[in-house]
Amino acid sequence: SQQGEEDPQALSIQEGENATMNCSYKTSINNLQWYRQNSGRGLVHLILIRSNEREKHSGRLRVTLDTSKKSSSLLITASRAADTASYFCATDYGNTGKLIFGQGTTLQVKP
Amino acid sequence: NAGVTQTPKFQVLKTGQSMTLQCAQDMNHNSMYWYRQDPGMGLRLIYYSASEGTTDKGEVPNGYNVSRLNKREFSLRLESAAPSQTSVYFCASSEVGGAGELFFGEGSRLTVL
């Protein structure tokens, strides 16, 4: 499977703390994306990082990509209760256009 | 803007029955996807359509068929439903396939008894 693996599977932190989630993948990629899913809802795109980029920021989100280690991390700074959700990484499947998702990290931010 | 619309939102089937999940997008996107999500698991790709008239198998295509009726619509058919197909199904679309952002529908919750 080309599926990414995410670590940890679950994370519980206090409001104001930082949350870090990791994603590893198996083959070379063109880009890696992160998505968020609130309980019972569809996924929402957060950020896309291309294979020639090492770091990208969007608001309180920071994504890094290490293609030599085939891994990425998502950092959410100064977390809020509203950040409670599941977070998924996704990688393109060669040049087919298919996007393959990892199993996700469930984040709980306690007020 | 509606974005990606899936119907029905909920469905209960008996083993062996057939049904079609409908998906439509109003963003003029070329690529469309069907995923399934099971408890504790991520999304698994069932089928993918890069453009109107083309479809390709994903990770878990067995037991499913798809139709890219036109640029807007991409349907998923279960010919003979099995309890293992109980899942939440998500449709998504993208302007540029995996090179860009996917927009998701709200999901269709299917139970097969």
3-state secondary structure of A82: helix
Closest chain B CA to residue A9 = B40
The residues facing A55 across adjacent strands are: A64
What confidence tier does A37 reach under pLDDT thresholds 50, 70, 90? Answer: very high
Residue B102 to chain A, least CA–CA distance (Å)? 7
For testing the chain A interface, which of B43, B60, B93 should be mutated: the one with the most A CBs within 10 Å? B43
Does the pLDDT at position B66 exceed 60? yes
The pLDDT, as a whole number, for residue A3 is 62
Q: Do A92 and B99 touch (CB under 8 A)?
A: yes
Residue A89 near residue A32, CB atoms below 8 Å: yes
Query: Higher pLDDT residue, A26 or B34?
Result: B34
User: Which tokens sit at B23?
Assistant: 């998906």
Residue range B8-31: average pLDDT? 97
The pLDDT, as a whole number, for residue A87 is 97
Q: Do A45 and B41 touch (CB under 8 A)?
A: no
Partners of A1 on chain B (C-beta within 8 Å) are 59
Residue A31 to chain B, least CA–CA distance (Å)? 7
Please provide residue B36's backbone torsions phi and psi, each rounded to the nearest 5 degrees. -125, 150
The residues facing B43 across adjacent strands are: B37
Q: What residues contact B64, with CB distance under 8 A and at least 6 apart?
A: B34, B46, B47, B76, B77, B78
Output DSSP code: residue B73: B
